[in-house]
A and B are shown apart, each in its own frame.
Chain A
Amino acid sequence: MGFFDALLGKRKVAPPAAKDRLFAMSTAHIAMDVDGLRARGRAGIVFQSLGTADFSRVVQEMEEVLHGTGEETGTTVSSQDDSFGYRWMILEDPDVEDLVVGVHAVNDALAIAGYGDRTLAAVFAYEDGSQPLYWIYNIKRGSWYPFVPAGGEQARSNERELQLKARYGGDLPIEPELERWFPLWGVPL
């Protein structure tokens, strides 16, 4: 944000970052699999849903396109609203690379329709032993960070997250500012 934006009032939402960093997951998951971090075959992309006719139409069209391509790749698609009023597009496919392509397709469809600034994050569900673990892709910043919910209400295991950062920092572009490792509670994945 520039000087004049600060002076005159910010008037834009941050647009998505370059998209190629999302694709880092298509190779990183191989290293994770070797270490026993299993992909659960589910990924989601979360965005604000606007209450306009145009936006609903864009989302509906996108869902139809995904259903169409899903028949070839075997990816199934569903959508769900969470308690914060955000919409989740949930993709299911045992192949992580197909999930990455699907998430990219959703992101792209929203961007082409002019709603790229409404997307929040993409989430990939993993399993660490029997514990759930999520890799969150911050779409605005084009960076990844781990999110490990611990037992209990809104508790997360920072220790494990930092371990994951150290382990996979070479494979994924990890968000350098720890204060931006925003949790997403109640991920429907």
Chain B
Amino acid sequence: MRPTSFGKDTGLQARMLLTMFLLGAVYVVFMGVLFAAGASGVIIAVVAGGLVFLQLFASEAIGLRAMGAREVSPQEAPELHAMIERLCLQADLPKPKVAVAYTDMPNAFAMGRSKKHATVCATTGIMDLLTPAELEGVMAHELAHIANRDVMIMTLASFFASVASMILQFGFMFGGGHSDDDDGPGFLAVIMVSLAVYVISFFLMQALSRYREFAADRGAAVLTGRPSALASALMKISGGMDRIPQKDLRASSEMAAFYIFPPGTKSAIGSLFSTHPPMDKRIDALMRLEGQLQGTR
């Protein structure tokens, strides 16, 4: 009996764990400072906790509203529903709500705090652009986000960052008005620490978000068994289909055939800020999976 079609991705998991560990460490230090500075921090934490829960429970509605998406019935989008039903059967997931956004921009996203309360949404643009197999890859990617509980993990990861940002706001609003009679320097220190926590956790959360994209790509490949279909979908969405030219080599002029696009101006600093990993890296990772799949046994 052979195990499964794909091996583990230990490197990805190690990096994700490290990021989560660092994020946790920042927050532990932050809590320590808050307690040292006095009880006022606890009240702020409670308010921020409320906000995070609101975010958790309202994320579906907010996400759909932001994209201008509408839930569709099986009669309205039969193909999409049937595709998602099969993927759910395969993934052993309950069926999420299915929504469609009427826009030409090719995009898809998943929202929901748990497996039972989830929505997947595709734009009409992506449904027109992709072949059924590619669309299936994208939908499997979104279902993997649901299976991995990404919305919940990112919301919880942002908890202390929201505490920090609230303290910063309070600090700027009321800190200046106070005369430095009793707790002046302590309060200033809390503001400085909050600022540091906010900045560090911002970058760590962006990194975590990127790793979760890789994990969802991997989940989609495992689910559909077709990493190449998702890779091809990603290329189409990013407009990178030009990379595999449609035009005959003989038809293009001599120089154009050998012309290499200058590498993007994105620096390492730029990639620190992005929530999604660069398309090339995602496609590379998917190609490694395809290699594993073809090479098994």
The complex places the Cα of A14 from the Cα of B92 at a distance, in Å, of 6
Number of interface residues of A (CB under 8 A): 43
The answer to whether B215 and A9 touch across the interface, beta carbons within 8 angstroms, is yes
Q: Does B282 contact A (CB under 8 A)?
A: no
Nearest CB in chain B: distance from A12 CB, A? 6
| A166 part of interface (Cβ distance < 8 Å) | no
**Are B144 and A9 in contact, CB atoms less than 8 angstroms apart?**
yes
A34 CB-CB contact with B under 8 Å: no
Determine chain B's interface SS by DSSP, over half rule. helix
Cα distance A182–B147 when bound, in Å?
18
Most B CB contacts (10 A, CB to CB) among A84, A121, A141, A153 go to A84
How many whole Å from A62's CB to the nearest CB in chain B? Answer: 15
A20 at interface by CB-CB < 8 Å:
no
Dominant secondary structure of chain A at its interface with chain B: loop
Across-interface contacts of B74 in A (CB, < 8 A): 154
A3 CB, min distance to chain B CBs, angstroms: 10
Bitwise, A159-184 to B at CB < 8 A (1) or not (0) is: 00000000000000000010110111
Known: A8-B16, A9-B215, A10-B148. A120 touches B9 (CB 8 A): no
Asked if B195 is at the interface (CB within 8 A of a chain A CB), the reply is: no
- Could you tell me the distance between the alpha carbons of A84 and B90 in the complex, rounded to whole angstroms? 13
Is B68 part of the binding interface, using a Cβ–Cβ cutoff of 8 Å? no
Question: Is there contact, CB below 8 Å, between B153 and A6?
Answer: yes
Known contacts A6-B147, A11-B219, then 10 further A-B pairs from the complex at CB < 8 Å, ordered by chain A residue:
A7-B153, A9-B215, A14-B92, A50-B225, A120-B89, A154-B74, A154-B78, A179-B95, A183-B85, A184-B86
Which 9 pairs of residues, A with B, have the shortest CB-CB distance?
A9-B215, A114-B2, A14-B92, A182-B85, A50-B225, A8-B13, A6-B149, A140-B92, A10-B147
Give every chain B residue within 8 A of A141 (Cβ-Cβ). Answer: 92
Q: A79 on the interface (CB 8 Å rule)?
A: no
Whether the Cβ atoms of B85 and A85 lie closer than 8 Å is: no
Distance in angstroms from A2 CB to nearest chain B CB is 12
